[in-house]
């Protein structure tokens, strides 16, 4: 396996990490089973994938609670990443909140649900237009001083915001979307390279569509993440995704692996990418995705996947 530094207290992490949005289930992904979740986490750890990424918004605490159960006796094996900044407002709807006092409370709540004393990395989930970035970063630095987090990071940021943050704090990681369907991160990747900040890609499977399992437009609920967050499941976007998925499937057949592993392998060889997160809801999916670490795509194969020639 290839490992890459994530500047987390001198530790290293594999270039693949387990994301737990789908694991948290709820309205975003449908209900998930506790045993399946535990099996998925254990399969990741057994495969050497020790970076696990979660957030309070993933099932509104359920993903964190499932992780707590799965990690009993194995916490020291894990580089645990969590996030702040998305909360339920008084109307019960998701909202931004990066006020310093809210960040401190959110962190304590996550630590309680996860049944741990610290987080290896704590990331701002989304920028909050109502709160100055300096205020949010100040709260994260306070959490570092208190020993509740080991490092801080940023998700879903522009290059300009990243550069501004890097001038104010030690940013250990940036987490932005990147896939064969969403490959427009040049400015952020360039900023990461300039500031020597690892870039972690998420959404590399396009919410699951690049696994090749969807052959016709699915009819998801409006609250399903594959309807409101990933714009690949309807109309022309679905047709384009199917073309990309067909190329992935073709190459996967040649390499005798799951299509998802090829899609992840492409993200791993994308210039400037330090690591890639993937979602899974059972041990089998983890094992299929983990095979990406063993795949070596040639430059020509990567170009074929991206451009079709």
**Per-residue pLDDT tens over the stretch 202-258:** 999 999 999 999 989 988 988 889 999 999 999 999 999 999 999 999 999 999 999
Q: What is the pTM of this model?
A: 0.94
Residue 3 has pLDDT above 60, yes or no: no
- 3-class SS of residue 18: strand
**Which of 1-10, 12-21, 38-47, 201-210 is the least confident region?**
1-10
Residue 201 has pLDDT above 70, yes or no: yes
- Report the mean per-residue pLDDT for the chain: 93
Q: Where are the beta strands (DSSP E) in the chain?
A: 3-8, 11-14, 16-19, 51-53, 79-84, 86-88, 94-96, 121-124, 152-155, 171-177, 199-202, 275-279
- CA count, 13 A, side-chain hemisphere, 46: 11
- Tens of pLDDT, residue by residue over 89-137, are 988 899 999 999 999 999 999 999 999 999 999 999 999 999 999 999 9
Residue 155 has pLDDT above 80, yes or no: yes
| pLDDT at res. 79 | 92
**Nearest of 243, 254, 252 to residue 180 by alpha carbon:** 243
> How would residue 5 be classed by pLDDT, with cut points 50, 70 and 90?
low
Residue 232 among the catalytic residues: no
Please pick, among 58, 202, 232, 233, the residue that the annotation labels catalytic. Answer: 58
| pLDDT at res. 32 | 73
Residue 279 has pLDDT above 50, yes or no: yes
**Nearest of 215, 198, 203, 162 to residue 274 by alpha carbon:** 198
**Phi and psi (nearest 5°) for 245?**
-60, -35
Residue 12 has pLDDT above 70, yes or no: no
> How would residue 1 be classed by pLDDT, with cut points 50, 70 and 90?
very low
| pLDDT at res. 136 | 98
Q: What percent of the chain has pLDDT over 90?
A: 84
| First vs last C-alpha separation in the chain | 29
| pLDDT at res. 14 | 73
User: C-alpha angle with apex 99: 176 to 22, nearest 5 degrees?
Assistant: 40
């Amino acid at each position: 396996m290839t490992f890459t530094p994530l500047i987390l207290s001198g530790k290293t992490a594999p270039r693949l990490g387990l994301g737990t949005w789908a694991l948290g289930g709820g309205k975003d992904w449908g209900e998930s089973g506790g045993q399946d979740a535990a099996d998925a986490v254990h399969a990741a750890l057994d495969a050497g994938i020790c970076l696990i990424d979660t957030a309070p918004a993933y099932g509104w605490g359920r993903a964190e609670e499932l992780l707590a159960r799965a990690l009993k006796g194995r916490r020291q094996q894990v580089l645990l990443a969590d996030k702040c900044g998305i909360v339920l407002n008084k109307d019960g709807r998701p909202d931004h909140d990066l006020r310093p006092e809210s960040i401190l409370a959110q962190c304590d709540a996550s630590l309680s649900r996860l049944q741990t004393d610290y987080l290896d990395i704590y990331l701002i989930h989304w920028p909050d237009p109502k709160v100055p970035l300096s205020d949010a970063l100040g709260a994260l630095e306070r959490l570092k001083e208190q020993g509740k987090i080991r490092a801080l990071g940023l998700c879903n940021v522009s290059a300009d915001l990243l550069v501004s943050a890097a001038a104010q704090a030690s940013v250990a990681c940036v987490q932005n979307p990147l896939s064969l369907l969403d490959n427009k991160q040049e400015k952020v990747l360039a900023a990461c390279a300039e500031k020597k900040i690892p870039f972690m890609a998420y959404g590399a499977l396009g919410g699951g569509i690049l696994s090749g399992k969807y052959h016709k437009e699915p009819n998801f609920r409006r609250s399903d993440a594959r309807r409101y967050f990933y714009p690949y499941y309807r109309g022309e976007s679905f047709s384009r995704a199917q073309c990309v998925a067909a190329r992935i499937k073709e190459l996967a057949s040649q390499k005798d692996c799951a299509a998802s592993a090829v899609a992840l392998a492409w993200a791993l060889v994308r210039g400037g990418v330090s690591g890639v997160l993937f979602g899974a809801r059972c041990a089998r999916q983890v094992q299929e995705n983990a095979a990406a670490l063993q795949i070596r795509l040639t430059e020509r194969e990567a170009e074929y996947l991206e451009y079709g020639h």
